[in-house]
Amino acid sequence: MPQAFTFARRFVDDVISSPINIFFVGLICYFSYKLIKKDNSLQASKDKNSKPKNQLSKMPKRDFTLEQLKPYDGVKSDGRILIGVLGQVFDVSRASDFYGPGGPYSVFAGRDASRALATFSVDQSQFKDEYDDLSDLKPSQIDSIKEWEMQFLEKYPVVGRLLKPGEEPNVYEEEETSSSDKKEL
Ligand code: HEM
């Protein structure tokens, strides 16, 4: 301990013995301070910008027209992302890495993804502004959407139905849940 003290004492004496040393030590302190401050503010802005995942509450069951589905794209909404598949609406919010902004399947967000899944394409042309009855698809393509639908049923809660034009929305009881509703967001 006394040795360490002697070393520290000699170091301080050396530093203060020359104005150049004092200048360099000051410079090092200044840049260290700047670096720490920058790191902290970067972290703070990261924390502010990153929406914590899985913090959305369970969505009450309801049915959607194509138009009503659109805002749930993870940008216009509070981070909620809904996707239509073969007439069902899935809450895929917890997979924002896939479907959120910048994700590989972000084009699906707030849309009926059935045709895109059938054709295995993420091209904008696979999303229609009017209700898509998929009547031009081949049986094999419909089968492949059904396979995707099974996967979605395993992973995501169903929040309601995608309505055909003129179809009336169901009125759901508040506690009404299906087995798929119980899946975590
Ligand atoms: C080079 C092309 C592609 C590659 C390498 C690729 C790769 C992947 C990988 C690694 C996953 C994650 C699997 C998992 O973790 O469960 C995935 C999921 C998925 N991919 Fe692709 N993909 C490609 C193209 C496409 C296309 C064109 C579509 C359009 C329909 C598509 C739709 C999906 C969907 C819907 C999921 C499931 C996401 C989920 O679990 O919610 N992929 N893909």
Query: Is the Cβ–Cβ distance between 79 and 56 less than 8 Å?
Result: yes
60 found inside a domain: no
Protein residue closest via CA to atom 7 of ligand 1:
104
Q: Which of 98, 147, 148, 154 to mutate to test the pocket of ligand 1 (most atoms within 8 A of CB)?
A: 98
Q: Is the domain of 37 the same as that of 123?
A: no
Q: Is the domain of 145 the same as that of 111?
A: yes
Q: If DSSP codes are grouped into helix, strand and coil, which group holds residue 168? A: coil
Domain of 25, in residue numbers: 2-49
Amino acid at 134: L
Query: Is the Cβ–Cβ distance between 81 and 100 less than 8 Å?
Result: yes
Q: Is the domain of 20 the same as that of 79?
A: no
In DSSP terms, 130 is beta-bridged to: none
Q: What is the percentage of the chain residues whose pLDDT exceeds 90?
A: 61
Number of structural domains in the chain: 2
Distances (CA, A) of 34 to 20, 31, 40, 44: 21, 5, 10, 15
Q: Which of 82, 105, 111, 147 to mutate to test the pocket of ligand 1 (most atoms within 8 A of CB)?
A: 105
pLDDT mean over 165-178: 82
Each residue of 97-110: pLDDT tens digit? 999 999 999 999 99
CB atoms within 10 A of CB 126: 20
Q: Is the pLDDT of residue 118 over 90?
A: yes
Q: Is the domain of 8 the same as that of 74?
A: no
Of 25 and 81, more confident: 81
CB atoms within 10 A of CB 32: 10
Each residue of 133-151: pLDDT tens digit? 999 999 999 999 999 999 9
30 CB near ligand 1 (under 6 Å): no
Q: What six digits make up the tokens of 127?
A: 């999303």
